[in-house]
Structure 1
Amino acid sequence: MVGETRLHVDHTPDLDDLRAVTSRIVESSPLWDRQQWVLQMVDATPQTVVIQVQASADDGPSAWDLRCDVREGLIRYLRDHHPEWLPRTRGEYHP
């Protein structure tokens, strides 16, 4: 079973850094089934980009808990180490 977590972040994060943090979070979890995980930028808006993490677990309840742990871990990391990567209000976009 694959769980999916999405976060909106500012346009400025270093994705390699976020992948390294995600790797530590996922790979240290007893909920992860050791099959697969991935972090990708899956969307962009004028205000944010959307980061998606998919990670596999043995069953639905474990996938849910792993999703929550990944979200909490990434938000904690962003808050404590890179608050500038969190979404912020930007001016009107006029193409």
Structure 2
Amino acid sequence: LRDQELRRIRSEFVKGVSDPVIKGLLDDLYHHKVFSTEEMDSVMAERTKADQARRLIDMVNAKGEGAIQMMIDSMKKRDQHFCIKLGLTSSPAGVGELLP
């Protein structure tokens, strides 16, 4: 299930997501009517990037499978490298893999 996937990546997402990706995800979620203006504002009102990331991922999780899938798809478009690191996307052969 997708909600378990978000829980699994939550701490890495909070540590590693960039400011532009947070803003882009909010734009995408708003555009697809997952978030209202008020919900976007509540995420941006958080003081630190980590708090914004926590609030974003928790709000999306609460909205269920459709919202979670939309956020993951949006992340894949906006920061494919970060998604590979989080294990949301398999990397192209040999890219980003550790040598034995």
Q: TM-score, length-normalised on structure 1?
A: 0.46
Structure with the higher strand share, 1 or 2: 1
Structure with the higher helix share, 1 or 2: 2
Q: Which has the higher contact order (CA 8 A, sep 6+)?
A: 1
